[in-house]
Amino acid sequence: MRLIAANWKMNKTVAETEDYLTKFLKILGTPEDREVLICPPFTALYVAGRILKDTPIKIGAQNCHYEEKGAFTGEISIPMIKEVGCSYVIVGHSERRHIFGESDEVINRKLVACLERGVRPILCVGERIEDREAGMTFKVVETQIRLALSGIEGLTDLLDVAYEPVWAIGTGVPAKPEDAVTVHRFIKDLLKEINPKSEGRTRVLYGGSVNPENAPEFMKHKEVDGLLVGGASLDPEAFAKIVNSF
């Protein structure tokens, strides 16, 4: 099933989350032919989990730590996010990589921990503008994926990948759908090479300035298994339109 995911980033209080989800459920109904995922900030996960409990809409965290518990001030573990209802977690978002200096090694440890503890990670990859201008898009994406999957090559069916060119995130300038499709094809071929026994369950999502107007342009391509939406997911009407864009 195709997956449409909302990444709220550091937006929305508990009260705002309640308000959003009440509206969103009314507008959206309960779609059964597509998977809908909302990733609120940690503080709103509990209330989101309660509101969405008996609906098909899933919740996910935007980050996690790879250890189960201990002296890691300010961090949140996988058992903690699972307890409040998360079945997904975004790992290696470009803001984590480039603002908080998250390395490929840390991202790999997080993926390993997610798979061990039974939460489905969405691994984010994507090139910066200077990589693209230097013709390095494929090399950067390949390196990020190979390092992220180190030691868990046989488990690719248990995760999804989001291709998010860094220059397209939050800029209002999305990738051209044909360019994104080329990278999606590359990622799918690479995943097949990395895990020849895979059952092809890894979805490759596109992310980067998706809105209700351009979403159908991405979703009409069979290589695009879904979307990861930041800014436009903050408005329940806009996000519902994106969910219904195919």
Site string for ligand PEP, 163-202 (x = CB under 6 A): -x----xx--------------------------------
Should residue 128 be labelled a site residue for ligand PEP when binding is judged by CB under 6 A?
no
Q: SS3 letters for 14-82?
A: HHHHHHHHHHHHHHHCCCCCCEEEEECCHHHHHHHHHHHCCCCCEEEECCCECCCCCCCCCCCEHHHHH
For residues 246 and 232, what is the distance between their CA atoms, to the nearest angstrom?
17
Binding-site size for ligand PEP (CB under 6 A) equals 14
From candidates 113, 209, 212, 245, binder to ligand PEP by CB under 6 A: 209
Q: Is the dihedral of CA 12, 20, 119, 3 positive or negative?
A: negative
**Cβ 62 to ligand PEP, closest distance in Å?**
9
By CB under 6 A, residue 229 contacts ligand PEP:
yes
Task: Name the residue among 95, 155, 97, 147 with its Cα closest to residue 121.
Answer: 155
- Bridge partners (DSSP) of residue 60 are 88
Q: Is there a catalytic annotation at residue 93?
A: yes
Out of 230, 236, 239, 242, which residue is the one contacting ligand PEP (CB under 6 A)?
A: 230
Distance CA(7)–CA(22), nearest Å, equals 18
Enumerate the H helices of the chain as residue ranges: 14-28, 42-52, 78-83, 94-98, 104-117, 129-133, 137-148, 177-194, 215-219, 236-243
Place of tokens 């590359």: 186
Check if 184 is active-site: no
Of the pair 40, 231, the CB lying nearest ligand PEP is at: 231
Residue in 36, 57, 159, 228 binding ligand PEP, rule: CB under 6 A: 228
Q: Choosing from 65, 93, 184, 223, which is the catalytic residue? A: 93
Taking contact as CB under 6 A, which single stretch among the options 37-45, 102-110, 140-148, 223-231 is the one that binds ligand PEP?
223-231
Output the smallest distance, CB 196 to ligand PEP, in A. Answer: 30
Q: Which residues bind ligand PEP (CB under 6 A)?
A: 7, 9, 164, 169-170, 207-210, 228-232
Which residues are the active-site residues? Answer: 93, 164
